[in-house]
Amino acid sequence: MSSIQNRFKINFWGVRGSIPCPGAETVRYGGNTPCIEMQVAGERLIFDGGTGLRVLGQSLLSEMPLEAHIFFTHSHWDHIQGFPFFVPAFVKGNRFNIYGAVAPNGATIKQRHHDQMLHPNFPVPLQIMQANLQFYDITPGETLKIGEIAIENAKLNHPGEAVGYRVSWQGITVAYVTDTEHFPDRLDPNVLWLAREADLLIIDAAYTDEEYYSEKSSKVGWGHSTWQEAVKVAAAAQVKKLVIFHHDPLHNDDTLDRIGEEVSAAFPNSVMAREGESIEFLPQAS
Ligand SMILES: [Zn+2]
Ligand SMILES: [Zn+2]
């Protein structure tokens, strides 16, 4: 029933934060860093280019030539390190529209992709990529339109800044909010605005409250949030379904199982993000 023109499908290619962590203990939730694909009304939107982007690229080889829109939350390594290994970007005839906010030091998203591929840290410069790459600097707070799809964004509380996105089409809304740290005394109005009444909220909850406030190794100021805060946001913003995302590399599968049970008890319509899984929405018949 769901032709590609008539659906909103979210595919999780990388759900891990900070650093890839493959291995026997992370095989069920996955070890690749952030990359989310949204297939909306026949368009392909990609959020972040962590190592999950490499795997997505392999899956796209049979669909070339292709066009996609790639949105970056920020350029910490775990969100861009898959891009130099995104094979479709090396193939002439493909087109990628690449979006990101200007960093606090003035560097554009193009500049930062260029820089991560420079010698001697990487052997192949950005210019070798043969696809048509169009870079766009987004302004926090603006709304982008791609056909009937609206993409809003807002600044997040993160070292070096990040932006969260909110994608809406035919009454379906999905918010992608990573990397972000909660405030000690109030919910972040930007996060609430992005998440407002969303059908799906994918949110950074790298830690538990116990880890975040640990006296021995506090995570305060590290730029990430907790599942307990994610639940508060989801409830306050009247989110329908909550996805816990940007898993800490120290959280193995059993730990994530355990956290998932606690999250479900606090917010029943919730899941732990899992590499390789998909969530699909169909517009209500009008
Ligand atoms: Zn991150
Ligand atoms: Zn970050």
Residues 117/118/123/128 CA torsion (nearest 10 deg): 70
Instruction: Work out the pLDDT band at 2, boundaries 50, 70, 90.
Output: low
Q: If you measure from the C-alpha of residue 224 to the centroid of ligand 1, how many angstroms do you get, rounded to a whole number?
A: 8
Taking only the tens place, the pLDDT of each residue in 43-68 is 999 999 999 999 999 999 999 999 99
Ligand lying closest to the C-alpha of residue 223? 2
Q: If you measure from the C-alpha of residue 284 to the centroid of ligand 2, how many angstroms do you get, rounded to a whole number?
A: 36
% residues pLDDT > 70 (the chain): 99
Instruction: Work out the pLDDT band at 4, boundaries 50, 70, 90.
Output: confident
Residue 53 in contact with residue 86, Cβ under 8 Å? yes
Q: If you measure from the C-alpha of residue 108 to the centroid of ligand 1, how many angstroms do you get, rounded to a whole number?
A: 18
- CA–CA separation, 35 and 274 (whole Å): 11
Which strand ranges, in their side-by-side order, compose the sheet holding 162-169?
A: 143-146, 149-156, 162-169, 172-177, 200-204, 241-245, 270-272
Q: If you measure from the C-alpha of residue 75 to the centroid of ligand 2, how many angstroms do you get, rounded to a whole number?
A: 7
Q: Hey, is 194 helix, strand or coil?
A: helix
Residue 40 corresponds to which tokens in the numbers above?
A: 């909306």
Return the pLDDT at 3: 73
Q: If you measure from the C-alpha of residue 74 to the centroid of ligand 2, how many angstroms do you get, rounded to a whole number?
A: 7
Residue 163 in contact with residue 74, Cβ under 8 Å? yes
User: Where does 43-184 show beta strands of DSSP type E?
Assistant: 43-47, 67-71, 95-101, 132-138, 143-146, 149-156, 162-169, 172-177
pLDDT of 286 higher than 70: no
List, in order, residues 6 or more apart from 123 with CB less than 8 Å away. Answer: none
Instruction: Identify the DSSP state of 126.
Output: G
Task: State the DSSP string of 144-180.
Answer: EEETTEEEEEEEE--TT-EEEEEEEETTEEEEEE-S-
Residue 52 in contact with residue 24, Cβ under 8 Å? no
Instruction: Work out the pLDDT band at 249, boundaries 50, 70, 90.
Output: very high
Average pLDDT over residues 204-222: 97
Mean pLDDT of all residues belonging to the chain: 97
Q: If you measure from the C-alpha of residue 221 to the centroid of ligand 2, how many angstroms do you get, rounded to a whole number?
A: 12
Ligand lying closest to the C-alpha of residue 75? 2
- CA–CA separation, 272 and 21 (whole Å): 17
Return the pLDDT at 284: 81
- CA–CA separation, 248 and 86 (whole Å): 24
pLDDT of 1 higher than 90: no
